[in-house]
Amino acid sequence: MGKLYNTKYYHRDLSWLRFNHRVLQEAADTRNPLYERIKFLAIFSSNLDEFFRVRVSDIRQIKKIEKPLRKKLITKPNKVLKEIKKQVAMQQEEFGKIFKEDIVPALKRENIHLISHKEFSATQKEIAKTYFEETLQEKLLISCNPCTGKDDVFIENEALYLAAQLSETEFQLVKIPDDEPRFFTFPKQNGNHYITFIDDILKYNLKQSPQGEKQIQHYAIKKSRDAELYIDDEFSGNLKEKIEKSLPKRDKGQATRLLIDQTMPKPFQEVVKNALDVYATDIVQGGTYHNFRDFFGFPNPSSTDLSNKDLPPLPHPVLTIADSIFDAIDEKDQILHYPYQAFEPIIRLLEEAAEDPKVSSIKITIYRSADESRLNDAIVRAAENGKEVTVFIEVKARFDERNNFKWGQIFEEKGANVIYSFPAIKIHSKIACIEREVDGETKRYGYIATGNFNEDTATLYTDFGLMTSHHEITEDLYKLFLVLEGKMIIPKPQQLLISPFTLRDEFEKMIEQEIANAKKGKEAYIIAKMNSLEDKKTIKLLYKASKAGVCIQLLVRGICCLIPGIKGQSEDIYVTSILDRFLEHGRVYIFGNDGDEKMFIGSADWMKRNLTHRIEVVTPILDEAVHKTIRDIIDIQIRDNVKARIIDEMQLNRYVENDKKKVQSQLATYKYFKKAINKKEGKKKASKTT
């Protein structure tokens, strides 16, 4: 592997590729059920598609900067792109090996055969011919193009095509229909199941040239395009309208990758390159099939369960049985940890608020929302019931813009006050503030989370959500919403850490305090869990803390630009990354504070964009029971020696291995919450008996 870093920092995009390698490791891990391994191949492929559409396009924009200015930049785009291509090629090769040498044989052992058109039996050929003629043929988009010059043939972003050379002067492009399942299952034969890509059904039926005089060979190609929305002037006019108008341009953007079947002959590669107007550096060699993300829908025709056993979300021990969510929050702060616990109490909170005559106003931020959403329906109901409803919608949430526009229009039509994106800053916080009349006074209830108000992702992402009626925290939330509504400039929070106002400064103060404590011989440690660690200023401070003797334990799922374990720089910093059935998404920050431990959760990673260019909210955990619950979960993750990888100097992604009892943190966390429910039910039974 090439060197991914200078002496102090990994390059963020190369570090991300090492994260995607961890996804690939899960596909190779035989401890995972077969169809889970297939799913990880799909995740790897989907991740890589987005990487080329977003990150590679960003690097290419740097190349457009004038050379004198570009020379001053630390990032050298050509060098980075070269290393990216090298790393991707290595991973694609590993991907192909896992698929061909592990997955396909494992499927055969289950009597499931994934076959190509070259393996069709006589009966299967007839079935393939019938399916083609009755279903596929009328949906095909076929074009014949000249082989000479830069013809700039347009192909759709991320769509699948088959390319074949018909003659020295002409080649053919066939768009694979995207409104049909990617896989076709043949009838069962002698206890065996046979599945093929529809690519192969097309190849079989199209192998004769249009004139019929010879057989032709088709090769898969796919073009990825720049996914960025370039707004000429973000600071004037209606930003929402500008983004809406820019969305169609995304699918026509500059090429960032042309993925081709590596068996395509070199002369034909040159023809395709010229016709599609891409550079040689854009071409990435792939396998026979592209869009492996379609393996999310790979059929299992057998009667054998080849997936993980379900872990249905558990009921919350307090909120699920509470007659009123508000009463439960009045009693004490409540913490949820989904998907281990159900997302339902959050929906119930909004549904109860919509119907409660004591509730006067609801304020909420929406970053990524489910397409069909009971939570959003509750917001609509609140507006219909005459509540003062304010919804801040971030329309710059990449790939969710259209859905956010849809819900924004619905909210507006029902009478809610909808505020859209601000220029140059994203609203990434996941917060809600509800005002309610209690005993003649206005009382506020707050919700602060690490994840979105999204029922769909709540079943896949691990996140914390805090419900509180703490006076200072809810006052801070109220002030922040005044900022979002343009009624206040600076919120001056008492408890919350809010970027870009106080978050960076407060984190830096707490790290400096740990440094001061270590120098005085006091207990000093930092435990932090996040998605990504990229901010250089924070990394420098962590290096300083390590040199001072502060013990630092980091749980970083994705990008990690910090280099741990370097003598004289980061020898007291230990970093692991957990990748398992759920996507680790929570952000938790813990500071030793000389025995009086401080804990925070919220929406911000330690990335420059989160600390400087977004509105983020991080809350202290003030309730002792909530503090203990979160600490217990973090301790479980620190002990993970099944799915945790060590982030070392070379980012080799070695699994944590030791002689201690095996701990797979996600399963252990589920058991932790299940045990808490059983314990509570046991107490109830005991009290009834007494």
Tell me which residues are annotated as active site: 428
Residues 42 and 47: their CA atoms lie apart, in Å, by 9
465 DSSP β-pair partners: 336, 449
Name the helix (H) or strand (E) containing 204: helix 198-206
Non-local CB neighbours of 117 within 8 Å, separated by 6+ positions? 128, 196, 200, 201, 203, 204, 207
Helix, strand, or coil (residue 545): helix
C-alpha 411/C-alpha 85 separation (Å) is: 45
Copy the structure tokens of residue 416: 């809610």
CA distance 326 to 351: 11
Q: At what angle do helices 503-519 and 536-548 cross, to 10 degrees?
A: 10
Q: DSSP secondary structure string, 473-500?
A: HHHHHHHHHHHHTTS-S----SS-EEET
**Site of tokens 């061909």:** 100
- In angstroms, the Cα distances linking 622 to 267, 510, 527, 600 are 67, 16, 17, 9
φ, ψ for residue 69, nearest 5 deg: -70, -40
Specify the DSSP class assigned to residue 262.
T
**Residue appearing with tokens 């990888």:** 645
Distance, CA of 89 to CA of 21 (rounded, Å):
12
Within 8 A by CB and 6+ apart from 299, the residues are 183, 185, 195
Largest CA-CA distance found in the chain, in angstroms, rounded: 91
Residue indicated by tokens 């107490």:
683
Judge contact between 341 and 630, C-beta under 8 A. Answer: no
Euclidean distance between CA atoms 543 and 151, whole angstroms: 53
Cβ–Cβ < 8 Å for 307, 33: yes
Q: Residue 593 is encoded by which pair of tokens?
A: 């504070």
Write out the H or E segment, with its range, that includes residue 434: strand 430-438
Yes or no: say if 349 and 327 are a contact pair by the CB < 8 Å rule: no
Distance CA 534, CA 539 (A): 7
Q: Quote the Cα angle for 626-630-632, to 5°.
A: 115
- Strands laid side by side in the 170-175 sheet: 141-146, 170-175, 161-165, 219-225, 255-261, 283-286
Tell me, what amino acid is at 109?
R
CA atoms within 13 A on the CB side of 139: 14
At residue 467, the 3 state secondary structure works out as: strand
Q: What share of the chain is helix, strand, coil (3-state, %, to 5)?
A: 40, 20, 35
